[in-house]
């Protein structure tokens, strides 16, 4: 049993909010579909939320989405009982404001990690984000020459003029023959082939299974927080300053 991860396919697929699918299984409290646009939590990006509507027209609230082996489980919100049967055709609809916020944060995180690497040679060990804010943990203590404001300035120079963000699928052998210098801190899982690579024009190339913007111009106003020590890493917090772009659905 496999769920087709329809949100991965192209830059445009990350901007789609409604889809049709067929019910493959109904585990307790959840729905497994043959395809989905709902992003399951992973790689620092929180899961999508939204609704799934079956043949009876009653929307079922999806509170959480997780990957389980080769399938995606859409977990129902409290009080939602599925009036569905295996084989039913359903319509799914994402909470777009939530998803678009995650896309802005995720592309911002790649760009921030790239700017940090470009200026200091330090790689990002871990990144997490959600609810308008995120953090990256950068290996090592911070060189005193960099401050949050010089970093923020360098970051802003990639927002205007905006840089294109592209998705490319590369055979694993091709990626491994020429990986980007910033990537490679966490090895790719053995089954990953081809490799989905996110490119920010002129600054970054990084393997990633998340959902991204098509342009850095959509990140919007952005704040960097003062650096903090987190064990043997430097933690940098970042936040979206403007919420306006959340509801602007960009037509592919
Ligand atoms: Zn990523």
Counting Cα atoms < 13 Å in the Cβ hemisphere of 138 gives 24
Taking the centre of ligand 1 as the mean of its atom positions, its distance from the CA of residue 119, in whole angstroms, is 20
Q: How far is the CA of 128 from the centre of ligand 1 (A)?
A: 10
Final residue of a structural domain among 39, 63, 94: 94
What's the confidence (pLDDT) of residue 80? 78
Is residue 211 situated within a structural domain? yes
Reduced to 3 states, what is the DSSP secondary structure of residue 173?
A: helix
CB-based burial label for 189 (10 Å; 0-12, 13-18, 19+) = exposed
CA 110 / ligand 1 centre spacing (Å): 6
Domain count of the fold of the chain: 2
Residues 121 and 142 in one domain: yes
- Residues 40 and 137 grouped into a single domain: no
Residues 28 and 147 placed together within one structural domain of the fold:
no
Domain identity same for 36 and 127: no
Question: Is residue 220 located within the same domain as residue 163?
Answer: yes
Cα torsion through 84, 90, 91, 97, rounded to 10: 50
Q: Lowest-confidence range among 17-21, 32-36, 71-75, 117-121?
A: 117-121
- Is 26 found in the same domain as 142? no
Show which of 62, 94, 126 is a domain's final residue: 94
**pLDDT for position 187:** 80
Ligand 1: centre distance to CA 103 (Å):
10
Model confidence at 247: pLDDT above 70: no
Supply the range of the domain harboring residue 155: 99-247
Query: If pLDDT is split at 50, 70 and 90, which confidence band does 12 have?
Result: confident
Q: What is the pLDDT of residue 131?
A: 84
The model's pTM: 0.92
116 and 88 in one domain?
no
Work out the average pLDDT over 62-80: 93
Sign of CA dihedral 45, 47, 49, 55: positive
**Residue 205 domain-assigned?**
yes
How far is the centre of ligand 1, averaged over its atoms, from the C-alpha of 53 (Å)? 30
Q: Are residues 90 and 161 in the same domain?
A: no
Nearest Cα neighbor of 88 from 29, 34, 38, 17 is 34
Query: pLDDT (tens digit, 9 = 90+) per residue, 184-234?
Result: 677 888 888 999 999 999 999 999 999 999 999 999 988 999 889 989 999
Centre of ligand 1 from the C-alpha of residue 26, in Å: 30
Distance (Å) from CA 43 to ligand 1 centroid: 6
Over 50: is that where the pLDDT of 124 sits?
yes
124 inside domain: yes
pLDDT at site 188? 85
List Cβ neighbours of 19 (8 Å cut-off, separation of 6 or more): 6, 35, 36, 37, 91, 92
Q: What distance in angstroms lies between residue 2's CA and the mean position of ligand 1's atoms?
A: 23
Q: Does the structure show a pLDDT above 50 at 165?
A: yes
> Is residue 138 pLDDT above 80, yes or no?
yes
Task: Tell me the pLDDT tens digit for each residue of 172-189.
Answer: 999 998 888 887 677 888
Query: How far away, in angstroms, is 197 Cα from ligand 1 center?
Result: 9
CA contacts within 13 A on the Cβ side of 140: 10
Q: Tell me the pLDDT tens digit for each residue of 142-152.
A: 766 778 889 99
Q: Looking at residue 69, which CATH number applies to its domain?
A: 2.40.30.130
Interacting residues of 4 by C-beta distance below 8 A, sequence separation 6+: 34, 35, 36
Last residue of a domain, one of 76, 94, 112: 94
Q: Find the 198 Cα to ligand 1 centroid distance in Å.
A: 8
Do residue 134 and residue 231 come from a single domain? Answer: yes
Over residues 48-73, the mean pLDDT reads: 96
| For range 128-132, the mean pLDDT | 89
CATH number of the domain bearing residue 230: 3.30.980.10
Q: Does 252 map to a domain? A: no
Mean per-residue pLDDT, 111-127 = 93
Query: pLDDT band at 60, cuts 50/70/90?
Result: very high
């Amino acid at each position: 049993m496999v769920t087709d991860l329809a949100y991965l396919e192209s830059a445009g697929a990350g901007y789609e909010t409604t889809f049709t699918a067929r019910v493959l299984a109904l585990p307790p409290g959840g729905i497994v579909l043959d395809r989905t646009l709902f992003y399951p939590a992973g790689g620092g990006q929180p899961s999508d939320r939204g609704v799934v509507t079956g043949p009876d027209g009653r929307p079922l609230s999806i509170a959480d989405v997780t990957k389980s082996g080769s399938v995606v489980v859409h977990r129902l919100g409290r009080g939602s009982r599925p009036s569905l049967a295996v084989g039913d055709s359903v319509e799914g609809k994402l909470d777009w404001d939530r998803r678009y916020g995650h896309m802005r944060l995720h592309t911002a995180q790649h760009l921030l990690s790239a700017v940090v690497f470009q200026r200091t040679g330090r790689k990002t060990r871990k990144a997490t984000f959600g609810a308008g804010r995120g953090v990256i943990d950068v290996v090592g203590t911070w060189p005193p020459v960099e401050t949050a404001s010089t970093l923020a300035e360098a970051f802003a120079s990639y927002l205007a003029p905006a840089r294109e963000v592209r998705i490319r699928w590369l055979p694993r052998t091709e990626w491994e023959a020429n990986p980007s210098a910033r990537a490679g801190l966490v090895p790719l899982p053995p089954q990953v082939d081809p490799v989905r690579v996110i490119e920010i024009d002129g600054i970054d190339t990084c393997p990633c299974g998340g959902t991204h913007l098509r342009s850095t111009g959509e990140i919007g106003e952005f704040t960097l927080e003062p650096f903090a020590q987190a064990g043997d890493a430097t933690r940098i917090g970042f936040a979206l300053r403007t919420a306006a772009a959340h509801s602007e659905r960009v037509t592919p």
